[in-house]
Chains A and B, each alone.
Chain A
Amino acid sequence: MDQFYINLIFVGASFLIYIGIAVWAKAGSTSDFYVAGGGVHPITNGAAIGADWMSAASFISMAGLIAAGGYSNSTFLMGWTGGYVLLAMLLAPYLRKFGKFTVPQFIGDRYYSENARLVAVICLIVASVTYVIGQMAGAGVAFSRFLEVDSTMGLIIAAVVVFVYAVLGGMKGITYTQVAQYCVLIVAYTIPAVFISLHLTGNPIPGLGMFSTHTESGVPLLAKLNQVITDLGFNEYTADVDNKLNMVLFTLSLMIGTAGLPHVIIRFFTVPKVADARWSGGWALVFIALLYLTAPAVASMARLNIMTTLYPEGTAAQPIEWAEIENELDEDGNRHWIKEWEITGLISFEDKNGDGRVQYYNDKNPEFAAEAEARGWKGSEFSYNRDILVLANPEIANLPGWVIGLIAAGGLAAALSTAAGLLLAISSAISHDLIKSRINPEISDKGELLAARISMAVAIVVATYLGANPPGFAAQVVALAFGIAAASLFPALMMGIFSKRVNNVGATLGMLSGLIFTLVYIFIYKGWFFIPGTNNLPDTPENWILGISPLSIGAVGALVNFAVAFMVSKATAEPPVEIQELVESVRYPRGAGSAHDH
């Protein structure tokens, strides 16, 4: 059967499941819509958090980043998992005990300040909107690549599917579709990795295979990889980094940012008890780790596969001839995977020295220049988009067409599940924290539910439009979303629970100073409001203050927030008695009840 139809069947079947779940899990009240009625089992919630959390970036891009950076990009692995320790111990159980619907609502109540709540709403919307644009753009790419439809058309299809289950079912519909999406994405990610690991090391578990012996050469896989790439002038895969301060701060920013992202936090409001919120954090990390322990294996193995494909006779011999890639067909008559991807433009080959062979090496390494010249090489002739590593895995491992269909469905599941979670966070902030709290406090439950559905629909339309026409700053999502969550939301939430002394003025000024400090540092290097050419300093390591990259500044912003909040609170009146009692009450699990409004 044609690959196109196989992909269509897999993607179509997965969409039918999501819509089926939506019809089954229709939301009847605001409690259903915002927190799935508060009756989700911790393991179910863990799987839903896994899908909510693992976006197109985790599914498609992360392995490629690690493959390119080796050890230095371990920051993503630690940063995007370590935040769950903070969540499970410092935020989730107490916010669950508080028992309200949204993150800004806690900040508004705890700091008895509508201004603090408004700052939180703005932070939430900016962080979530930038994040959701990336998801929609990712879904568009997956559509256009696997289903050969125009990416705008693909986006509209995706938006309609999300619309059905998110607008109808709210958090309830989203939770159960996320569980289904988790299953699709983890199976899709794992199957090709298992076959590649078996082929290279004989070990069926990729996470273990990565640290075992490379069957063909008899040396450990990572040692083999180090040797092959250093032979061609690249940095050693496992090489240590010099700028440890930046590595620490970047990891810390990702961790604090993860813990402060509202679309993850609100998932903890859906479980029945405080104890369940703690367990949920553990289960979420188990489900996330199933992918995150495989990702570094995919990264190292795919990198080695590319090298050995191009240098079949070893790095000392000449690389493969392009004609061989172009004409080679396997026993099923499939084209070589490199040719397959060269057609899409994501792999490129330019025969600079005209010998018909594919020289791929590090032509930016001055120490390797002499050897390259001696071998008659005139620059590296091969390049690949690092996002293809995961998508091309089934072809690299020579797996049947249905695995490719599964990868297509998995990539879309990752993008759509995260998009739905973000859209819910945005729409509940609008309907609950703006409309219900500021504009029309007398609104009925039915009226608020309608408002929530309309905000969700509007958010989907805006996200789809921005996904189809991504603004220039979309690529900066990591810096922006994590910077804002780390520097503004996380410290305010944590201090609200662990300190009775931090008051309304302290918290508001703390959030604002953390936020402004972080944004200014990012804008200085990335351009003001990300407008190209408006940056004050070039974004290169020599210009960074103390070698701290703008991507790593969120952790420093969090410190600024903490410091300002404590100092200002000390100088102003302590919070009223009833607020101190509120802090006291969120610390003790008894009497949580289900999440409610008042």
Chain B
Amino acid sequence: MSGHSYDAENYWKANLRLILGSLVIWALVSYGFAILLRPMLAGIAVGGTDLGFWFAQQGSILTFIALIFHYSWRMNKIDEKFGVHEE
């Protein structure tokens, strides 16, 4: 059982690391690029406006999709690695 709980702990840590990394990007594209950092990105022109506007209206949504699929794919791999996946 001790070997199992050691593995279980590492499994949970791997999950938390992956979530933390994903949420950093989640916050960066929405609260960062689209809102707070928009003035800094004002110089980068995108179709008649700036990059911050694009992130606010489209870029953040596209990033969110990529984040969830990446998380699902990585997590399913981690499940298998630690042997906690469902058959």
Chain A residues with a Cβ under 8 A of chain B: 66, 71, 74, 77-78, 81-82, 84-85, 88-90, 93, 207, 210-212, 219-224, 226, 238, 240, 244, 247-248, 251-252, 273-275, 278-279, 281-282, 285-286, 289, 292-293, 296, 584, 587-592
B86-A223 in contact (CB<8A): no
Docked pose: A259 CA to B85 CA in angstroms: 25
Name 13 A/B residue pairs within 8 A (Cβ), A-sorted: A71-B57, A74-B53, A77-B58, A78-B56, A211-B48, A274-B86, A275-B75, A278-B68, A278-B75, A285-B64, A293-B58, A589-B85, A590-B84
Nearest Cβ on chain B to A173's Cβ, whole angstroms? 27
Docked pose: A415 CA to B56 CA in angstroms: 26
Docked pose: A71 CA to B23 CA in angstroms: 23
Nearest Cβ on chain A to B81's Cβ, whole angstroms? 12
B65-A285 in contact (CB<8A): yes
In the bound complex, residues from chain A placing their C-beta under 8 Å from that of B36 are: 244, 248
A238-B22 in contact (CB<8A): no
A275-B19 in contact (CB<8A): no
A251-B72 in contact (CB<8A): no
- Which of B58, B60, B72, B84 makes the CB contact (< 8 A) with A282? B72
A222-B47 in contact (CB<8A): yes
In the bound complex, residues from chain A placing their C-beta under 8 Å from that of B62 are: 289, 293
Query: Which B residues, 42 to 64, have Cβ-Cβ distances below 8 Å to chain A?
Result: 46-50, 52-54, 56-58, 60-62, 64
Complex: chain A residue closest to B20, CB-CB: A89
- Which of A207, A248, A282 makes the CB contact (< 8 A) with B69? A282
Docked pose: A244 CA to B33 CA in angstroms: 12
Complex: chain A residue closest to B65, CB-CB: A285
In the bound complex, residues from chain B placing their C-beta under 8 Å from that of A252 are: 31
Known A-B contacts A282-B69, A589-B85; A240 and B39 likewise in contact (beta carbons under 8 Å): yes
Docked pose: A78 CA to B27 CA in angstroms: 11
- Which of A224, A244, A285 makes the CB contact (< 8 A) with B48? A224
Docked pose: A275 CA to B83 CA in angstroms: 13
Q: Give the number of chain B interface residues (Cβ < 8 Å).
A: 43
In the bound complex, residues from chain B placing their C-beta under 8 Å from that of A207 are: 58
Chain B residues with a Cβ under 8 A of chain A: 8, 11-12, 15, 19, 22-23, 26, 30-31, 34-36, 38-39, 46-50, 52-54, 56-58, 60-62, 64-65, 67-69, 71-72, 75-76, 79, 83-86
A85-B79 in contact (CB<8A): no
In the bound complex, residues from chain B placing their C-beta under 8 Å from that of A289 are: 61-62, 65
Complex: chain A residue closest to B60, CB-CB: A78
In the bound complex, residues from chain A placing their C-beta under 8 Å from that of B57 are: 66, 71, 74, 77, 210, 296
A-B pairs, 3 with minimum CB distance: A220-B48, A211-B47, A74-B56
In the bound complex, residues from chain A placing their C-beta under 8 Å from that of B35 are: 244, 247-248, 251
A81-B58 in contact (CB<8A): no
Complex: chain B residue closest to A97, CB-CB: B86
Complex: chain A residue closest to B25, CB-CB: A85
Docked pose: A90 CA to B68 CA in angstroms: 11
Most buried by B among A85, A220, A292: A85
B50-A238 in contact (CB<8A): yes
In the bound complex, residues from chain B placing their C-beta under 8 Å from that of A77 are: 56-58, 60-61
Docked pose: A74 CA to B30 CA in angstroms: 10
In the bound complex, residues from chain A placing their C-beta under 8 Å from that of B72 are: 88, 275, 278-279, 281-282
- Which of B39, B52, B61, B71 makes the CB contact (< 8 A) with A81? B61
Docked pose: A530 CA to B86 CA in angstroms: 49
